[in-house]
Amino acid sequence: MSEKVTALRDELILKLNEATDAASVDALRVEYLGKNGSITGLLKGMKDLSIEEKKDFGQKVNVLKEEAGKLIADKIEEIKKLEVEAEINSMPEFDISTPANLSRGSYHPITLVQRQCEKVFKSMGFNVEDYSEVVTDYECFEALNIPKHHPARDMQDTYYLENGQLLKSHTSAAQNAIYKKYKDALINEGKPIKAIFPGRCFRNEATDACHENTFFQMEGVMVDKNISISNLIFFMKTMLSEVFQKDIKVRLRPGFFPFVEPGFELDISCLICGGDGCPSCKHSGWLELCPCGMIHPEVLKAGGIDPEEYTGFAFGLGLTRLAMMKYGVKDIRDLNSGSLKALGQFTDDE
Ligand code: FA5
């Protein structure tokens, strides 16, 4: 009788080795361990054995039953593993974390105009500088000839931190640091200071089609001996014609900023309405784009530069508004909307 147990065990192992799918292994389970299965049948044939034989044989059959159950379960596990591996190997290689329908992405329109401006100014010998968004009251106001309680501060209410620092309300906040960085080369080596510094600005103000509380400007300064308004106008004209690649109507009018003297407002004819008036230009037909002027002597002094010897110009280009005009965005708020549908349609012209 025990040979029967051994023979059945060998037979099952052989058949399991040959099985290649879960269905045939399950069929083997029924064949050997089912109600009418071969191993179950061994127990049924025990009735003719003596008590002693029954005990010994019964134990062997039970051991085989248990072993057979385990062999079958292991085989099923092995087949499943192989099936998963085969499925993985048959798949094309791809990143399963990639979101569905991912487009190639595009640059934000403000990044595009910023790069265009940087390219133009770099080609004219300007350095591109980066500056922090959190600045001191001195940098943002005092060094720019705007003492505490000066009414000009009202125009640039911003967000103050508990430590007294603030989110810069204009890129002019970097002027003082730029003068200090380059003054030695100017004074000792005669190298003119020529720098642009784009950056994000913050103001506590109500938003509308042409005003945001968070927007970009690009400051530019040039300091040397004998710098005049003609130099300023030349650089402004070059920048606008390069960025727009077409003739656009501009107007220069007097403007007051404590850090320039004289100061100007440089407006461009609204490209959204062609100058007829619309919400994007507050129905005036003109958009304030780039105030500028000759750097105030007090500002040069604060930067360690002698205003008797050197003069310079500064401008504060509204990059966000430039992006609006260049790409025909009617409402400035769309630029901060994060809407891929709205923003994804712009591409670099180059
Ligand atoms: C200034 O910020 C001065 N620092 C500019 C300057 C620099 C003048 C150097 C002279 C010399 P103003 O507040 O006008 O100025 O802002 C400059 C430009 O930034 C505006 O013409 C406009 O294009 C843009 N701008 C200002 N406020 C906003 C706003 N809330 N939303 C969008 N763009 C704005």
For residue 313, give the CATH number of its domain: 3.30.930.10
Instruction: Please indicate, yes or no, whether residues 266 and 321 belong to a single structural domain of this protein.
Output: yes
Please identify, by atom number, the ligand 1 atom nearest to the C-alpha of residue 211.
31
Instruction: Establish if 96 belongs to a structural domain.
Output: no
Instruction: Establish if 97 belongs to a structural domain.
Output: no
Instruction: Please indicate, yes or no, whether residues 136 and 37 belong to a single structural domain of this protein.
Output: no
Instruction: Kindly list the protein residues whose Cβ atom lies closer than 6 A to any atom of ligand 1.
Output: 170, 172, 203, 205, 211-212, 215, 217, 219, 257, 260, 263, 288-289, 291-293, 314-316, 318, 320-321, 332
What is the distance in A from the centroid of ligand 1 to the CA of 181? Answer: 24
Q: Rounded to whole angstroms, how far apart are CA atoms 256 and 260?
A: 8
pLDDT of 117: 95
Instruction: Establish if 152 belongs to a structural domain.
Output: yes
Structural domain containing residue 336: 109-343
Residues 85-99 have a mean pLDDT of: 81
With contact defined as beta carbons under 8 Å apart, do 281 and 272 qualify? yes
Reduced 3-state DSSP string for 288-322:
ECCCEEEECHHHHHHCCCCCCCCEEEEEEEEHHHH
In the structure, what pLDDT confidence band is assigned to residue 251 with cuts at 50, 70 and 90? Answer: very high
Query: 288, 296, 313: which to mutate for ligand 1, most atoms within 8 A of CB?
Result: 288
With contact defined as beta carbons under 8 Å apart, do 257 and 295 qualify? no
- Name which residue sits closest to atom 28 of ligand 1, judged by CA: 211
pLDDT of 102: 63
pLDDT of 41: 86
Instruction: Establish if 301 belongs to a structural domain.
Output: yes
Instruction: Please indicate, yes or no, whether residues 19 and 80 belong to a single structural domain of this protein.
Output: yes
Instruction: Please indicate, yes or no, whether residues 253 and 210 belong to a single structural domain of this protein.
Output: yes
pLDDT of 234: 93
Instruction: Please indicate, yes or no, whether residues 84 and 119 belong to a single structural domain of this protein.
Output: no
pLDDT of 65: 92
pLDDT of 348: 61
What is the distance in A from the centroid of ligand 1 to the CA of 33? Answer: 86
pLDDT digits (tens, 9 = 90+) for 32-85: 999 888 988 888 778 778 888 888 888 888 999 999 999 999 999 999 999 999
With contact defined as beta carbons under 8 Å apart, do 168 and 177 qualify? no
Tokens encoding 330: 């009617």
Entry pTM: 0.73
Instruction: Please indicate, yes or no, whether residues 67 and 145 belong to a single structural domain of this protein.
Output: no
Spell out the alpha helix ranges (H) of 151-262: 175-189, 229-244
Residues paired with 292 in a beta bridge: 264, 315
Instruction: Please indicate, yes or no, whether residues 177 and 217 belong to a single structural domain of this protein.
Output: yes
Number of domains in the chain: 2
